């Protein structure tokens, strides 16, 4: 919260004894207010001038002992300390109402700037949470017009506070995948499980932590082993057929071996499928 203390905004001292009157009980919640006059937005370095002007109007015009509000929120989201958390405000209409809820002013007008800014709503939410946490104040939320005949805090602020005084919608988050290349995604999906060599890898049926890379290594290892075995058998059959000579057709033997290889590959596919599903 961007809290501006009384000394930081140049507040006048409040008058005693009324300015020091404490709350007699915990606050039910927070009531919001608006200026109720024309207001034009201004550069932030002029906001404290305006807060001092409000205090002067309340002390010199209304004859109050201090600025009436507990806190004042400017359009830039800064929260000015008025009577603060402990001293009873004088803005809610009468002593009972002042004692019941905190009074937070949003610096928007009944004409000119009438809709609070995003930063201001954030600041108002900050002030509400501060009152609840450090006041203490309960969860009740409303406006000056609740229980008192006034248009304050204006329709825009009133609608917002009665809807729960939610923080303004945060800016749309950026695409969470922005900045990742296809290679990053491939590496993340097909990451290894640090199994160095397929020969020493634990059996996948007993190691449920295997990553895709190890399944690929395992399959590759089985196919290579099968290929070497079939090639050796094929060579042996060639040599045998040539030794036997007449009566045995070498081409027929080779064709039979090739069919056996094809069948073996089909069987490997079935084994792999079954193992992956198990
Ligand atoms: Zn008001
Ligand atoms: Zn400001």
Distance 17 CA to ligand 1 centre (A): 24
pTM of model > 0.75: no
Domain boundaries, the chain: 3-162, 182-277
- Ligand number with the minimum distance to the CA of 113: 2
Tally of CB atoms within 10 A around 169: 7
**What is the distance, to the nearest Å, from the Cα of residue 102 to the centroid of all Cα atoms in its chain?**
29
Distance 78 CA to ligand 2 centre (A): 6
Q: Taking the alpha carbons of 82, 56, 10, 120 in that order, is the dihedral positive or negative?
A: positive
Distance 121 CA to ligand 2 centre (A): 13
Per-residue pLDDT tens over the stretch 21-54: 999 999 999 999 999 999 999 999 999 999 999 9
d(CA 32, CA 72): 10
- Ligand number with the minimum distance to the CA of 147: 1
Per-residue pLDDT tens over the stretch 197-250: 444 455 555 555 666 766 777 778 778 877 777 777 777 777 777 767 666 677
- Ligand number with the minimum distance to the CA of 48: 2
Distance 153 CA to ligand 1 centre (A): 6
Query: What pLDDT is attached to residue 142?
Result: 97
Give the pLDDT band of residue 186 (cuts 50, 70, 90). Answer: low
In sequence order, the 6+-apart residues with CB closer than 8 A to the CB of 9 are 48, 51, 52, 80, 81
d(CA 89, CA 56): 16
> What H or E segment, with its residue span, contains residue 158?
helix 154-162
Scan for tokens 């290894």, then name that residue.
192
Supply 210's token pair. Answer: 């295997």
Scan for tokens 């002593």, then name that residue.
95
d(CA 158, CA 138): 18
- Ligand number with the minimum distance to the CA of 41: 2
Distance 52 CA to ligand 2 centre (A): 13
Domain covering 3-162 in this structure, CATH number: 3.40.80.10
d(CA 65, CA 179): 58
- Ligand number with the minimum distance to the CA of 149: 1
């Amino acid at each position: 919260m961007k809290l501006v203390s009384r000394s930081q905004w140049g507040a006048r001292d409040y008058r005693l004894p009324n300015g020091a009157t404490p709350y007699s009980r915990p606050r039910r919640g927070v009531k919001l207010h608006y200026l109720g006059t024309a207001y034009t937005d201004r550069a932030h370095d002029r906001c404290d001038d305006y807060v001092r002007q409000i205090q002067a109007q309340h002390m010199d015009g209304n004859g109050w002992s201090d600025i009436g509000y507990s806190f004042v929120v400017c359009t830039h989201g800064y929260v000015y300390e008025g009577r603060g958390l402990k001293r009873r405000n004088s803005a809610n209409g009468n002593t009972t109402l002042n004692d019941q809820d905190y009074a937070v002013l949003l610096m928007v007008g009944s004409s000119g700037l009438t809709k609070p800014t995003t930063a201001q709503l954030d600041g108002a939410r900050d002030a509400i949470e501060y009152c609840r946490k450090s006041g203490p104040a309960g969860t009740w939320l409303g406006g000056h017009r609740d229980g008192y005949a006034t248009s304050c805090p204006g329709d825009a602020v009133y609608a917002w506070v009665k809807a729960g005084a939610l923080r303004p919608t945060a800016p749309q988050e950026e695409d969470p995948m922005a900045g990742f290349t296809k290679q990053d995604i491939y590496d993340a999906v097909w990451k290894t499980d640090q199994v160095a060599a397929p020969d020493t890898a634990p059996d996948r049926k007993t190691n449920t932590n295997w990553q895709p890379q190890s399944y690929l290594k395992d399959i590759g290892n089985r196919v290579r082993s099968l290929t070497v075995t079939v090639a050796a058998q094929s060579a042996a059959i060639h040599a045998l057929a040539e030794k036997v000579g007449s009566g045995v057709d070498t081409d027929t033997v080779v064709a039979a071996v090739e069919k056996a290889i094809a069948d073996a590959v089909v069987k490997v596919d079935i084994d792999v499928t079954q193992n992956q599903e198990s």
